[in-house]
Structure 1
Amino acid sequence: MKKILGLIPILLSACLLIGCSQSVSDRSALKNVQESHALTWGIESDVRLFSLTDTQDNQEKGFEVDMAKAITKEILGSKGKAKFILVTAQSRIPLLKNGNVDAVIATMTITPERKKIINFSKSYFAAGQSLLVRKNSRIKNIHDLVGKTVIGIVGDNSVDVIKKVAPKAKVVQMQDYGQAVIALKAGQGDALSSDNGVLYGLAVENPRLTVRGGTFTKEPYGIAINKHQPELENAINTAISKLQHSGKYNRLIKKWFSKVPGFNYKVMYRN
């Protein structure tokens, strides 16, 4: 009997802990964001024009960083704070699922496979897959990839796409864009394939490289949100719509992409 009585406090404590953990996991992410007056975003640190760490002040800068800040202000008001955690193509979904971030804005293509485990906002950037090659390369489009080595990024949807559209090409994968560009310059690959927006940023940074092949897919970017969080998802979608209708969205597009050769933002991003 003493043993049983001794177990009662332990069992009660365990029940309380279980109840607390369930209430936290079931709680609205939007309510948490509103109470903390901060929205934590997962962003990349190596994608020029979208989200790149500035070595001079160690701050992330780019279109997606500005979008995250603008969306945060729309949801939380002028005093709302956007916090950032760096992610990679491999870590962004696990960090979101584990609750380390509230949302991920990281050149992430909306795909049916990903929608099985996470939700997406409406598209905020109409990207399409293209090719980055050395300027002296004879590769003009995907039809020239037969027998060539194409570099992709681990965890990037572009790897699977290349295997489908250029089945006779050899695909090698790198951990990040920095490694991929070094490999391309060194001749370890004939082309780097990813979304055109990302590749334009790499081309701006590396004058020996150029983007070719047009866009052979539609790869719209969306903001990733955990499943079963409709309030936060709706709030982010509403914020994107407001930014588009107010003209703020187009101003950000112009700020980051208007000087990129071949990027026609006037045609692609009308209200």
Structure 2
Amino acid sequence: MKKKFLVLVLATLTMVMLAACGSSKSSTGTDKGNDKSAKATTVVDEIKERGTLRVAVFGDKPPFGFVDSNGKNQGYDIVLAKRLAKDLLGDESKIEYVLTEPQARVDLLKSDKVDIVLANFTVTPERQEQVDFANPYMKVAIGLVSPNSAPIKSVDQLKGKKLIVPKGTTAETYFMKNHPDIELVKYDAITEAFEALKDGRGNALAQDNALLFGWANQNPDFSVALPSLGDVAYIAPAVKKGNTELLKWLNTELETLGKEQFFHKAYDETLKSAFGDDISADNVVVEGKAE
């Protein structure tokens, strides 16, 4: 009887141990399954689940990004933002616009406050260390706008004078690096910089020439007497560093848009009237990839 009882106890213990092992394996398998499911949730999936695309844009930089008298976002960058939202979320209105100044663009991405920056973001090696740029949709160079009564046609003419620059722009970086002897008058907001030029607080203003062409066309007392400095650069959407999945989606989208000449149409819609007949779309836009 004792022997039979001992065999029964051992058999019971064996069954319990096997059941525990099976449960452990099942639990481990479930955990792995959960991990796999969690990894399957991508940034693009998160945007779709949220239901809005968060885009950083300018609010005071016509004709690229500005808020009109009715409080609506308008401009070249806005046309692109709406198309991205339509193709990603099925509705061009599913956008949360986040207004930015030039110096805040990188921080908005780093802090996850926006998904994409579409705010005339010029690609530079320094910025490429902090954010990831998609394919470009514009090309640009630094230019100078000055009064017709005292045009600045060369950098040499700036010696002993004041040059206005918006903070956080490639123009500021260019002059600090290449012409440190020129006195820079810096402003946080682009509108403040242009008002300073009108008020005579500087002899010229440096900024992307595409912006200056439009501004000078609307302000006939000023002209872009020095239209190009340094190398031609590109403007592109930017995402947070390492956000490879959204970057891949953007590049595919931009190539698709390029095939349908989307950016030439956007130019005609938003930039042509601002730039005037002297500027051609081919001088400004890039369709899907760098040339």
Distance 2:111 2:192 in 1: 28
Post-superposition CA distance 1:190-213 (Å, at most 9, x none): 110010122123223323222121
Provide the residue aligned with 1:252 in structure 2.
266
Shift of 1:87: 1.1
Pick the aligned partner of 1:45 from 59, 63, 71: 59
RMSD: 2.3
The alpha carbon displacement at 1:62 in A equals: 0.2
CA distance in 1, matches of 2:140, 2:217: 17
Post-superposition Cα deviations, 1:127-183, rounded to whole Å, max 9, x if no partner, equal 111011112113123332222211111111211212344444211101112111111
Q: Is the 8 A contact 2:133 2:237 kept in 1?
A: yes
Superposed displacement of residue 226, structure 1:
0.5
Contact 2:84 2:92 survives alignment (8 Å): no
Look up the SS of the partner of 1:214 in the other structure: strand
Task: Give the corresponding residue for 2:135.
Answer: 122
The residue that corresponds to 1:16 in the other structure is none
Structure 2: state its 5+ residue gaps.
Answer: 1-36
In 1, Cα distance between the equivalents of 2:127 and 2:92? 33
2: CA distance, partners of 1:79 / 1:67? 10
Letter paired with 1:58: G
Q: CA deviation at 1:41?
A: 0.2
Q: Which residue of the partner structure matches residue 281 of structure 2?
A: 265
Q: Is the CA contact (8 Å cut-off) linking 1:141 and 1:214 kept in structure 2?
A: no
Measure the CA separation in 2 of the matches of 1:165 and 1:129.
13
Number of aligned positions between the proteins: 248
Structure 1 residues not aligned, in runs of 5+? 1-22
Give the 5 Å matches for 1:46-65. Answer: 46-55=60-69, 57-65=70-78
- Per the alignment, do residues 256 and 66 of structure 1 end up closer, same or farther by CA in structure 2, a change over 3 Å counting? same
Question: Which residue number in structure 2 is paired with residue 146 of structure 1?
Answer: 159
TM-score using structure 1 length: 0.84
* Secondary structure of 2:119's aligned partner: coil
- In structure 2, the residue matched to 1:104 is 117
- 69-78 or 246-255: bigger deviation: 69-78
Q: Per the alignment, in what secondary structure is the counterpart of residue 128 of structure 1?
A: strand
SS in 1 for 2:139: strand
Check the 8 A contact 2:55/2:118 in 1, yes or no.
yes
TM-score if structure 2 supplies the norm length?
A: 0.78
Specify whether residues 158 and 24 from structure 1 end up closer, same or farther in structure 2 by C-alpha distance, changes over 3 A only.
Answer: farther
Question: Which of 77, 82, 86 is matched with 2:95 structurally?
Answer: 82
Partner of 1:203: 216
